[in-house]
């Protein structure tokens, strides 16, 4: 069969990895795809020292790729919202299929991009946008297609997971580990996207759309970072049989869809709790299959290229098939506009850490505040002041309650004369 010709826009870490995988494994890839996949052109302004582009045509102008009549598939690996969006929409307008690793672009502009692609009868593939090399988009859109998905939860930012793992294993502070992660190149100079959960929220937005058949609603995703987690919290979590992970959680409820990224305590006995360092993991619960878990590298040249090239192979295989043979962009051929729940209406269990001068008095007062709001206590730990510190700590685990109730309870606890400073609150999910 006729080869498929791809044009790669961007030759950084992921672009270089994609070039190298397509070249190194060309023979096996052709045996799988049923036809050759040829890199016809690369758009880049900077050479990549890890890539030998050989005889492949190089241009500094992405428009040369978009407008190249030879090219069947445009691979967008530039990142960001501006040039990347022009490349994707330009390629679609020219009737080319698109493969992208750009989570921000899909989470924020995906609805517009998919509509344009459907009007032109082309596909936009984005396996690499979520959880790097783990084929999680394919698992949810195809592998679990028989299921009504009930919930999903994922460690979908490797930097954050590396920081929390180091804090637990070595008792180090957040700021200290972050500085090391930046030095190692795991975290960007501006770490906001990673540690404040924005990157995870982009990915969760995409996963939720394909799980439930709802529009992409990044703006409605509740996002809370890990910068306030202390080594005390990490230790108390372990003492209670839990581990703190920065999770994206999304759940189908009768009132709407949960969509939230926040530090989360999960039972240590779950396999996902043992996913450490820069690894990513996603749990998906479906009504037929029950719980499934997918683990792997969430970033890096090789893993991301693995996902990009898998998409190219899917396109090559179905290149001569009618458009209906391709999987719907957001899994379903019609999208249901189910509401995303405001965070105040989300139901979850909680870990609370309260600092107090007079431990005995405050415990009675706290218990009464919770009890008045129907919040049941699952476990309590009281800690004497550490050497040189004046404050005792009270740690509570609660049963499941509506967030609004908990907000009111926390405000009341913080208002007590005997408590000091803010109450630390970490949501608890049992993932079952």
Contacts to a copy of itself by CB under 8 A: 1, 17, 21-22, 24-25, 28-29, 31-34, 127, 133-135, 138-139, 141-148, 213, 269, 271-272, 274-275, 281, 286-297, 302-303, 305-310, 312-314, 317-318, 320-322, 324-328, 331-334
CB 76 within 8 A of CB 59: no
CB 217 within 8 A of CB 341: no
CB of 133 to a copy of itself, least distance (A): 4
Q: What is the DSSP letter of 252?
A: B
Residue appearing with tokens 């499941």: 400
CB 232 within 8 A of CB 320: no
13 annotated binding-site participant? yes
Out of 85, 96, 203, 245, which one is annotated catalytic?
203
159 annotated binding-site participant? no
CB of 182 to a copy of itself, least distance (A): 23
Residue 24 vs 386, nearer CB to a copy of itself? 24
CB 136 within 8 A of CB 49: no
CB of 35 to a copy of itself, least distance (A): 8
- Round to the nearest angstrom and report the end-to-end CA distance of the chain: 48
Residue 226 vs 305, nearer CB to a copy of itself? 305
CB of 128 to a copy of itself, least distance (A): 10
Residue appearing with tokens 């016809």: 40
Distances (CA, A) of 431 to 97, 251, 268, 365: 37, 11, 11, 31
CB of 178 to a copy of itself, least distance (A): 24
3-state class (DSSP) for residue 45: coil
415 annotated binding-site participant? no
Residue appearing with tokens 């028989």: 146
Spatial CA neighbour of 91 closest among 129, 120, 128: 120
Residue 263 and residue 279: Cα distance in Å, rounded?
16
103 annotated binding-site participant? yes
Residue 263 vs 298, nearer CB to a copy of itself? 298
430: tokens are 């049992």
Residue 254 vs 324, nearer CB to a copy of itself? 324
336 annotated binding-site participant? no
CB 81 within 8 A of CB 175: no
Residue 277 vs 342, nearer CB to a copy of itself? 277
- Does the annotation mark 203 as catalytic? yes
225 annotated binding-site participant? no
Catalytic residues: 203
Report the binding-site residues for NADP(+).
Answer: 9-16
Report the binding-site residues.
Answer: 9-16, 103, 188
Report the binding-site residues for NADPH.
Answer: 103
């Amino acid at each position: 069969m006729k080869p498929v010709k791809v044009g790669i826009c961007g030759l950084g870490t992921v672009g270089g990895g994609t070039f190298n995988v397509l070249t190194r494994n060309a023979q096996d890839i052709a045996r799988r795809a049923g036809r050759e996949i040829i890199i016809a052109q690369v758009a880049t302004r900077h050479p990549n020292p890890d890539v030998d582009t050989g005889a492949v045509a190089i241009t500094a102008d992405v428009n040369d790729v978009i407008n190249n009549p030879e090219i069947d598939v445009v691979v967008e690996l530039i990142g960001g919202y501006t040039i990347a969006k022009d490349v994707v929409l330009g390629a679609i307008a020219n009737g080319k299929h698109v493969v992208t690793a750009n989570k921000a672009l899909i989470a924020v502009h995906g609805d517009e991009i998919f509509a344009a692609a459907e009007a032109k009868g082309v596909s936009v593939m984005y396996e690499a946008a979520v959880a790097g090399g783990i084929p999680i988009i394919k698992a949810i859109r195809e592998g679990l297609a028989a299921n009504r998905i009930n919930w999903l939860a994922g460690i979908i930012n490797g930097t954050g997971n590396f920081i929390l793992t180091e804090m637990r294993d070595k008792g180090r502070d957040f700021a200290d580990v972050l500085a090391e992660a930046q030095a190692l190149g795991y975290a960007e100079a501006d770490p906001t996207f990673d540690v404040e959960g924005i990157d995870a929220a982009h990915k969760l937005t995409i996963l939720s759309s394909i799980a439930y058949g709802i529009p992409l609603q990044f703006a409605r995703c509740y996002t809370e970072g890990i910068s306030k987690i202390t080594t005390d919290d990490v230790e108390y979590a372990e003492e209670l049989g839990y581990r703190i992970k920065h999770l994206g959680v999304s759940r189908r409820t009768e009132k709407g869809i949960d969509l939230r990224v926040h530090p989360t305590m999960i039972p240590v006995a779950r396999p996902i709790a043992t996913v450490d360092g820069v690894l990513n993991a996603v749990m998906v619960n479906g009504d037929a299959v029950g719980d499934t878990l997918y683990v792997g590298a969430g970033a890096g040249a090789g893993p991301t290229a693995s996902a990009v090239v898998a998409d190219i192979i899917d396109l090559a295989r179905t290149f001569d098939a009618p458009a209906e043979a391709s999987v719907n962009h957001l899994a379903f051929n019609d999208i249901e506009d189910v509401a995303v729940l405001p965070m105040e209406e989300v139901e979850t269990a909680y870990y609370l850490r309260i600092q107090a001068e007079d431990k005995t008095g405050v415990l009675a007062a706290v218990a009464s505040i919770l009890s008045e709001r129907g919040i049941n206590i699952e476990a309590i730990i009281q800690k004497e002041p550490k050497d040189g510190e004046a404050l005792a700590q009270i740690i509570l685990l609660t049963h499941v309650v509506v967030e609004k109730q908990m907000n009111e309870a926390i405000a009341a606890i913080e208002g007590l004369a005997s408590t000091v400073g803010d109450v630390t609150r970490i949501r608890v999910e049992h993932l079952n």
